[in-house]
Structure 1
């Protein structure tokens, strides 16, 4: 049995480049969208949940309590642009472009945002905001745990198996 099989942790793919978490503390490529949590530039207590749908580039941006973003009226707001920038830092431009099904000759955060917004994407709904924000809060609770190799009870969804000798 390898060390990897004996460990209760899995190696995380390192980010393409280091990023600062103050502006965009949570970004993920999931559920057919680029989505995440973006801090407000004007109010330290406010965050926005922003997303861009793969293929259609339908976008949504609202506060964590579902108030619409004032800047996301017909085009990408600064929160969505920050989300795209941080996703490129986290995953790499090619991976983000491939996931979003964006055709860009030389993908970068700026060209991806420009190419997608040039298609005049529709404004999406904000129903995905609650699960995204909930996952973000769940990730925060893991940061409060002391480092350990012991299994976490809520992560043990597999039935126990017999040890192989």
Structure 2
């Protein structure tokens, strides 16, 4: 039996996968595959002060889209709205089409290349979901941008095993 582990298994830090291409953060400033959903924050196309919290669950493809004030999106009634399509498109830029499809458990047809192909392979249904958790995560990420530049450890990250290696 070979007990030699790959080098990445010898570290306590998780590799960060770089985006497949640079994303347009003005369109979708926050996109993640987490909690069994593709979820994120998408900017409004008509109001600079409004954002939408959008999500699609893995397997069932239940979707939700509402403003940060929990007002439902007018376009997300019986089908995916433009905010959800933007979320899918930006997730594909961030993670790649294959990874997003695997995460959402979508069987892509031969030659699938875009977010349109992915969303048309799903059988989505509307199911309202609370936006607070996703929006709070987005605000937490934004707060890190306000921290002064430093090489010292950030107290909130002290519980990460990799934080001990940062000196």
TM-score computed with the length of structure 2 as normaliser: 0.83
Q: Please, which runs of 5 or more residues in structure 1 have no aligned partner? A: 1-8
Deviation per residue, 1:87-113 (Å, 9 max, x gap): 000000000000000000325211001
- Equivalent residue for 2:134? 132
SS in 2 for 1:61: strand
Equivalences for residues 5-154 of structure 1 within 5 A: 12-105=16-109, 106-116=112-122, 119=123, 121-127=124-130, 129-154=131-156
Q: Please, which runs of 5 or more residues in structure 2 have no aligned partner? A: 1-12
Indicate if the aligned counterparts of 1:94 and 1:107 stay in contact, CA closer than 8 A.
no
Deviation at 1:55, TM superposition (A): 0.4
Return the alpha-carbon distance in structure 1 between the equivalents of residues 155 and 116 of structure 2. Answer: 42
Detail structure 1 runs of 4+ shifted over 4 Å in the superposition.
none
RMSD: 2.2
SS in 2 for 1:51: strand
Indicate if the aligned counterparts of 1:66 and 1:126 stay in contact, CA closer than 8 A.
no
- Equivalent residue for 2:4? none
Q: Cα 1:39–1:145, aligned 2, differ >3 Å: closer, same or farther?
A: same
- Equivalent residue for 1:6? none
Return the alpha-carbon distance in structure 2 between the equivalents of residues 158 and 92 of structure 1. Answer: 27
Return the alpha-carbon distance in structure 2 between the equivalents of residues 12 and 98 of structure 1. Answer: 18
Q: Cα 1:15–1:73, aligned 2, differ >3 Å: closer, same or farther?
A: same
Return the alpha-carbon distance in structure 2 between the equivalents of residues 25 and 133 of structure 1. Answer: 11
